[in-house]
Amino acid sequence: MGKRKISKNSEFFKIIFRYYVKEWKLSVLMMPLILIYGITVMMIPLLTQQINMDLTKDFATETVGSSFITSYWNLSWPYLVLIGAISIVINTINTFAINYLGYLMAIRIEIDLRNRILEKLVRQDISYYSDKKIGELLTNVISDSKFVSDWAINIPVGGIISVFQIAIAVTMTFILDWKIALVGTGLFIVILSGFVFVYIMLVNRYERVRQTLEKTNGNVIDRIVSVRLIKASGTEAYETENFKAKHVDYFEQTKPVASWLSLLFTVVFAGDFIISFTAPIFAVIFYGSSGDSQQTLDFFKNTFAAYSLSQGLLIGPLFTLLNMSGGFASAGVASARISTTLQADSIMNFHYNDGIKIKKITSDIVFKDVEFNYPEKPEKQILPKFNFKFEQGKSYAFVGETGSGKSTIAKLLLRLYDPSKGKIVINKKYDLKDLNLESYLQHLGYVEQDPQILFGDVFENVKYGSFQATDDDVIEACKKAELHGLIMSWPEGYKTVLGERGFMLSGGQKQRLVIARMFLKDPQILILDEATSALDNIVEKEIQAKLDELMQNRTSVTIAHRLSTIKNVDQIIVLGANGKGIVQQGSFDELINTPGHFQNLYQAGLMS
């Protein structure tokens, strides 16, 4: 399936638009706050001018401009200071409100993005993960959603305020003195053009650095997840050097970023100096040499301070844009990654919200003309066309060499994959593809070679999949799995946190915990995928005894390579290597005494 190229900036703005519409109440509330911010900012140079005019009452009757704004308001300076103080208080409260509402919206965006990403990931088909790094997926959920949510507020709000502030500043400078304003605005346009050019060059390089960093972070996370392998292999020194090597490329790619970022800072700070310095120079040029001493005195006493403040307002937006520059690049990359994840369609429809729901498996499970090729390697056939019936209440075992398709049977029954051709029939009439997957899997139990233990206590782990169960039910299930004594020997008992992937448990203890989970769930169909293959012989016998107890009065399917696990099943199905499919089937006694593949496996010691 081809991958559609996603524009980073467009995806970021799509996300912004989506959430500003979704959170329209907060969006609408922030607009007047931004307007109030602009008005209070505008008041400062105006009040400065009026105070100057009041303190120099000889010239108060003179009109500096034709508008009310530049005329004397006939207010004494204490009242003007009071108005200024009120403006500052309003601006302060307003700034708090903008940031508070923005923070609330950012948190809502982050939570919603995380929920959507996690929902998409857990509902993907299993083949989606065949070429993915867990570290990169975790970055997608945690880092990317955080980046986007933060900048989804900072960029629009900061951008709107900056544009508003520029418009106010330019307007005020032209009202106060259009001649100097022409020069100042021209310089500002040149500086802003330089800023935009440098920013574009910076973003192009920053995207590469961001992608390299994410790959490096993904590699680090994957190594930490595999810390037991590192410890068991004594490869700490190797991994340390490997981490250093991974960061060499990252460092080399940051060099041009550092150059362009430094140039961006230079443009902003130099622009600040140039704009601030040119106002008095051109004031002297235009008024100092005008020959009209009264006009010159009016300007410098009544207007110059207000003009300087107004022109100084042009600098704030540049610093805002500078702050936004790196964030915009990061948010763009993160948005594209999030959109790629959210737009990735599963090749299977699990009917989570629709489909046929079944309350019970009432009949045999039938494989009808089933063929299978893994979607990741469609050119290689794993199972050729075959028909098979799993009769209700009977026990089955699949055996064969590695790669013969044993575990594939379990994956098809669990609907981790769909048959490439044919269908699996449930309750005599339903294609498994058409069932609501959740309702179907409620009736299946699965015990695999590498038990899946969650980070959490015993109650949480055993209840997983049977959330309605009580703590007493969990304790009873653990007693059946002969795990209760061990648990009670721990200081925290059933409240003991088991650690990442059951770090503190042995292989046999993990299997007992999963068996307790199955006793609690009480499934109609039990699938055992080489459940004891990683255990030593003594522990295997103990676990197998519990599995035999668990298998009673239910349909069971065992994927096995040891004789001890299949000796008592009703029927053994032998799969041939290299996609030959079913080559033999029968009871253990029938197969052991019949020349063929099973007897060869047994005599070669592959089923001992």
pLDDT at 425: 95
Quote the pLDDT of residue 463: 93
Q: Label residue 61 by pLDDT band (50, 70, 90).
A: very low
pLDDT of 3 = 44
Domain ranges of the chain: 8-343
Residue 524 pLDDT: 92
Quick one: which H or E segment has residue 501?
A: none
pLDDT-derived band at 2, boundaries 50, 70, 90: very low
| Cβ–Cβ under 8 Å, residues 478 and 458 | yes
The answer to whether the beta carbons of residues 175 and 67 sit under 8 Å apart is yes
pLDDT above 70: percentage of residues in the chain: 86
Whether residue 324 is predicted with pLDDT greater than 90 in this model: the reply is no
The candidate with the shortest Cα–Cα distance to 111, out of 142, 155, 152, is: 142
pLDDT of residue 230: 76
Give the neighbor-by-neighbor strand order of the sheet with 571-576.
Answer: 444-448, 525-529, 555-559, 395-399, 571-576, 581-586
pLDDT one-digit tens code per residue, 461-477 = 999 988 899 999 999 99
**What is the model's pLDDT at position 413?**
94
Euclidean distance between CA atoms 207 and 332, whole angstroms: 8
Q: pLDDT tens, 522-554? A: 899 999 887 666 566 667 677 777 778 888 888
pLDDT score, position 65: 46
Q: Which amino acid is at 305?
A: A
- Name the nearest CA neighbour of 319 among 258, 377, 384, 272: 272
- Whether residue 495 is predicted with pLDDT greater than 90 in this model: the reply is yes
Q: Is residue 67 pLDDT above 70, yes or no?
A: no
Two structure tokens written together for 373: 């090729």
Burial class of residue 178, CB neighbours in 10 A (0-12, 13-18, 19+): exposed
- What does the alpha-carbon distance between residue 570 and residue 46 come to, in Å, rounded to a whole number? 94
Q: What is the 3-state secondary structure (H, E, C) of 147-191?
A: HHHHHHHHHHHHHHHHHHHHHHHHHHHHHHCHHHHHHHHHHHHHH
**What's residue 1's pLDDT?**
39
For residues 515 and 83, give the distance between their C-alpha atoms in angstroms, rounded to a whole number.
75
DSSP string, 49-95: HHHHHHHTGGGTTS-SSSSTTTS-----HHHHHHHHHHHHHHHHHHH
Task: Please say if the pLDDT value at position 6 is more than 60.
Answer: no
What digits encode the pLDDT tens for the residues 126-163?
Answer: 888 877 777 677 777 788 888 888 888 888 888 888 88
Question: Which of residues 233 and 254 earns the better pLDDT score?
Answer: 254
CB atoms within 10 A of CB 183: 16
| Token reading at 9 | 């900036």
Instruction: Give the pLDDT of residue 293.
Output: 63
Question: For 35-39, 87-91, 341-345, 534-538, which range has the lowest pLDDT when averaged over its residues?
Answer: 534-538
| pLDDT surpasses 60 at 314 | yes
Look at residue 592 and tell me whether its pLDDT is greater than 60: yes
Q: Which residues of 224-238 are buried (b: 16+ CB within 10 A; e: fewer)?
A: eeeeeeeeeeeeeee
Which pLDDT belongs to residue 246? 75
Residue 389 host element (H or E): strand 381-390
* Cβ neighbours of 444 (radius 10 Å): 19
CATH superfamily of 8-343: ABC transporter type 1, transmembrane domain (1.20.1560.10)
Q: Which of 310, 303, 306 has the alpha carbon at shortest distance from 275?
A: 310
The pLDDT, as a whole number, for residue 390 is 93
- What is the mean pLDDT of the segment spanning 2-17? 68
Q: What is the mean pLDDT of residues 573-590?
A: 86
What value does the mean pLDDT take over residues 91-99?
88
Give burial (CB, 10 Å; 0-12/13-18/19+) of 580: middle
* 435 has pLDDT over 90: yes
pLDDT at 297: 66
What does the alpha-carbon distance between residue 100 and residue 140 come to, in Å, rounded to a whole number? 26
Count CA atoms closer than 13 A to 13's CA, side-chain side: 5
Maximum C-alpha span of the chain = 123
Distance CA 249, CA 219 (A): 14
Write down the pLDDT at residue 573: 92
pLDDT for res 544 = 77
Amino acid 258: pLDDT = 81
Is 329 in contact with 203 (CB distance < 8 Å)? yes
Q: Please state the rounded mean pLDDT for residues 190-217.
A: 77
- Reported residue count of the chain is 608
- CA dist 600 and 583 (Å) reads 12
Is residue 233 predicted with pLDDT exceeding 90? Answer: no
* Predicted TM-score of the model (pTM): 0.72
Question: What is the rounded average pLDDT for all residues in the chain?
Answer: 82
What Rg, from alpha-carbon coordinates, does the chain have?
36
Check pLDDT > 70 for residue 310.
Answer: yes
Summarize pLDDT for 365-420 with one digit per residue, the tens.
Answer: 999 999 999 888 888 888 998 899 999 999 999 988 888 888 899 999 999 999 99
